[in-house]
């Protein structure tokens, strides 16, 4: 199964990327996954050009294909002005509004203080609900004081387990390009009842 981590961290090293990596590793302990990381920092110029030209560049197109073709997503953003970053939102704005329908998504964020932890439920969850993705119940927020402190590991493991369960349970249920390809004709169903 393919797991894609979308990281909107801007610095190197980035606590946002670190959280994404830890979440992906935890999913990998529950389910064999092939992990691909999409660093939005590297796509910022192409995202801006997509808004002005209407067409994605090569790297952005590959990132969009990876995200829309994934069996599960881990999305992680730093908190700016009490919400997700503009780069994070811009990336999801260039993806077709129906492309993530039914996709399992684990939401996560990083910030300097625990006071911004509501970003998960007041910004990220509504965004992915609008995109009709299936968001795991447990979101993971990591403030500066959470790194190395008690509690973060437990939240990571719980959220990763929920994503792994959704990925295995929903991979067959995700809409295919032709959802009616395997429809049994009504006559056959009626004939089976007569026996």
More confident: 151 or 162 = 162
Per-residue pLDDT, 85: 93
Three-state DSSP at 118 gives coil
For the chain, where are the alpha helices, taking DSSP H only?
15-30, 44-53, 58-68, 86-94, 119, 125-130, 152-170, 186-194
Per-residue pLDDT, 181: 54
The arithmetic mean of pLDDT across residues 74-84, rounded, is 93
The arithmetic mean of pLDDT across residues 145-163, rounded, is 92
pLDDT at 122 over 70: yes
- Lookup result for tokens 């990925």: 167
Cα distance between residue 125 and residue 83, in whole Å: 11
pTM of the model: 0.84
Q: DSSP character for 122?
A: I
Which pair of tokens denotes residue 179?
């959802």
Per-residue pLDDT, 177: 44
Which pair of tokens denotes residue 93?
């704005």
């Amino acid at each position: 199964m393919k797991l894609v981590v979308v990281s909107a961290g801007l610095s190197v090293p980035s606590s946002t990327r670190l959280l994404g990596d830890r979440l992906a590793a935890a999913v990998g302990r529950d389910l064999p996954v092939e992990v691909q990381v999409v660093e939005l920092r590297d796509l910022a110029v192409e995202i801006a050009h997509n808004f002005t030209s209407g067409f994605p560049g090569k790297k952005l197109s590959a990132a969009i294909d990876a995200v829309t073709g994934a069996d599960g997503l881990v999305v992680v953003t730093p908190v700016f002005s009490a919400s997700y970053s503009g780069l994070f939102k811009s990336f999801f704005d260039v993806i077709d509004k129906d492309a993530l329908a039914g996709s399992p998504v684990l939401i996560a964020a990083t910030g300097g203080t625990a006071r911004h932890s509501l970003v998960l439920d007041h910004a990220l969850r509504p965004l992915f609900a609008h995109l009709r993705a299936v968001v795991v119940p447990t979101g993971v927020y990591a403030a500066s004081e959470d790194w190395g402190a008690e509690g973060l590991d437990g939240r990571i493991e719980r959220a990763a387990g929920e994503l792994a369960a959704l990925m295995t349970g929903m991979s067959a249920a995700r809409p295919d390009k032709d959802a009616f390809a395997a429809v049994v004709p009504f006559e056959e169903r009626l004939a089976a009842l007569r026996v």
